[in-house]
Amino acid sequence: MAKCYVCGRRASVYVSYLGDYLCSEHFAEYFERRFLEAVRFYKLVERGERVAVAVSGGKDSLTTLYLFSRFAGELGVEVFGVAVDEGIAGYREYKLEALRSLAGRLGVEIIVGSFKEYFGFTLDEAVKALREKGFKVKPCSVCGVLRRYVMNHAAREAGADKLATGHNLDDEVQVFVMNALKNHVEGILREGIVSERAEEGDLVPRIKPLYFIPEKEVLAYTLIRNIYTPFVECPYIVYALRHPIRHWVNEVEDSSPGFKYRVLAVKELARKTARKPSRKPSRCAVCGEPSSRPLCKTCLYRAYLDERYR
């Protein structure tokens, strides 16, 4: 029987890069300490701020909501959740149910914005149109852009100073690999533990307190702290480039522990040393939201999906 490295009791989690086992109690303590250290070291929040947590109902965002709510007093912040109902039948309703249940347990307010209310169509309806157009644009591309728009708008309207997302180490490594494959250097340089797009007016600064924590550890923490999320997957994930990359990254990590941290270290080094392209903050000519192009991606997709253009 494996024993906890700290107390010698029965271990429940193996932390591969430490090469050690921890019991549930010491693992949860270690996990929470790393969350607090990241928040303090990178000054992700300041006392008196209102922190909106972007919650999808998945384990990472629920964990972020749980942690901010648990340590709100210690950090001196006010916390609430912002969720988006994209309109994905057989998926979103279950995730929202899990989210409402955790929010009720924590006593945290949740604001829900929907694609239907913001754009007049659900993602299911949008995917039908994309299919008719030969899937030249993938569902996740549309979903990601529109979801960010709703999140930012809802958080800003609710007076949020920061928008915290549940992105973990695995997410960051997968996005790094995808950006590298697409030669999207700006995407690599811009997205750190604090998103640099926050410098553009009207965008609520985005922070990622789980940036250095592997997905497997987030899962272990949810089990220990009884943070429940149903095992339903979005039906459109199969169209995402991210799907095969996720498997590849996990395979390499299994055969070479520490691989994900090494990739993140390369990314951080690049972010520190490379010259970032300078961009003047500008606005979309149609909706007036911050955008690096004359027409923002949200308006571009809305026009593409508009019935008159199908």
* Residue ranges binding ligand SF4 (CB under 6 A): 139-140, 143-144, 234, 236-237, 240
Q: Which amino acid is at 234?
A: C
Nearest distance from C-beta of residue 38 to ligand SF4, angstroms = 24
Residue among 140 and 210 whose Cβ is closer to ligand SF4: 140
Nearest distance from C-beta of residue 168 to ligand SF4, angstroms = 15
Residue among 52 and 123 whose Cβ is closer to ligand SF4: 123
Residue among 237 and 274 whose Cβ is closer to ligand SF4: 237
Provide the 8-state DSSP code for 33. Answer: H
Nearest to 86 by CA among 52, 130, 125, 58: 125
Nearest distance from C-beta of residue 83 to ligand SF4, angstroms = 12
Nearest distance from C-beta of residue 151 to ligand SF4, angstroms = 12
What is the rounded distance in angstroms from the CA atom of residue 150 to the CA atom of residue 200? 17
Residue among 140 and 284 whose Cβ is closer to ligand SF4: 140
Torsion of CA 68, 70, 72, 73, to 10 degrees: -170
**Burial letters 296-309, b for 16+ CB under 10 A, else e:** bbbbbbbebbeeee
Residue among 95 and 267 whose Cβ is closer to ligand SF4: 95
Helices marked H in 71-167? 72-75, 92-106, 115-119, 123-132, 139-157
Whether 103 and 62 have beta carbons less than 8 Å apart is answered as: no
